[in-house]
Amino acid sequence: MPRRLPPSDDLRQDRWVISYADFITLLLAFFVVMYAISSLNEGKYRILSEALSGVFDGSGRLPGQGGNRLADDIAIGAAQVPDAPPLEIDPPDPEVTGQLRSLQQQLQQRFSARIETGDMKVDGNDLWIAIELRAAQLFPSGSALPEIEADQLLGDIAGLLQGLDNPLHVEGFTDNQPIETDQYPSNWELSAARAAAVVRILALNGLRPDRMAAVGYGEYQPAYSNRTAEGRSRNRRVLIVISRDERVRRAVSAFGSQQISTDAVSELLEAEPSPPQPAIEQVETESGGILIRRAEPDAQ
């Protein structure tokens, strides 16, 4: 039987170094190739870095010297945006104001007897006219179904409003006495239903529906004291508001004609300021690249 040779102890233990060296060589070649095909320009990179730093640190420092085309693309918008001119409210059109005043006089003359007894009020200004009617003249207690007399009264009012293009809306109010029925679970529903009923009658009498709206305020805008029976009776009311234009109608109906002044409405009608300019913007250069630069203000 042949004798078995003992294992040799002279095997090389550093063969892994060859594989590691090959890996490092390939990695180095990869980075050399990547660097060779890149188009990094340190000057352009420095200019872009300075531009962004000037925007975000608030110093306003922008490059642009030396005739560099990239610098010329970035170094714009350094001019300060001029202060916006003060906002001014345009006065009402004299013709429209004259129509409102004339309509107010006609209403006061036509319904002078009701105004003297306190069953109706007609107030006006340069922006709108408000005709206040007691709900007891138009509806039974706790109901939004108009009385027969309401058709005649509202028909007379509609006759004076025909031929005018002024938008109008009807506001419904109640007292603070709670109501809870299947048809009207609260005063919200009752006041809105009464306002809608008046709008419907006005439309049936020739007023264009597209110029009208109905708003219900419930018990939450009392014009009189709810501590007395007389005050609660006056709080159960309906207002027909004829506005100068659609913007006035929206502003008045948003708060209630008896809860807002003409000065407040004029302030609401101010032109909204222009939105602020963005600090930076992204643009495409002639060469097809993308640049981030300080936003250029709109030309004045």
Please name which of 250, 211, 244, 242 lies closest in space to residue 96, comparing C-alpha atoms: 244
Query: Which pLDDT score is estimated for 261?
Result: 78
Averaged pLDDT in 10-residue chunks for the chain of 300 residues: 61 72 86 71 66 58 48 45 48 75 92 93 91 94 92 94 90 94 93 96 94 94 93 95 89 83 73 58 72 60
Residue 182 φ then ψ, to 5°: -65, -35
pLDDT confidence of residue 221: 92
* C-alpha closest to that of 44 among 61, 66, 59: 66
> Looking at the structure, do residues 57 and 180 belong to the same domain, yes or no?
no
Q: Are residues 69 and 132 in the same domain?
A: no
Q: Residue 52 falls within a domain, yes or no?
A: yes
CATH number at residue 99: 3.30.1330.60
| pLDDT value of residue 276 | 61
pLDDT of residue 298: 55
Indicate whether 253 and 288 sit together in one domain. Answer: no
| pLDDT of the residue at 238 | 97
Convert 161-226 into a string of H (helix), E (strand) and C (coil). HCCCCCCEEEEEECCCCCCCCCCCCCHHHHHHHHHHHHHHHHHHCCCCHHHEEEEEEECCCCCCCC
| Total structural domains within the chain | 2
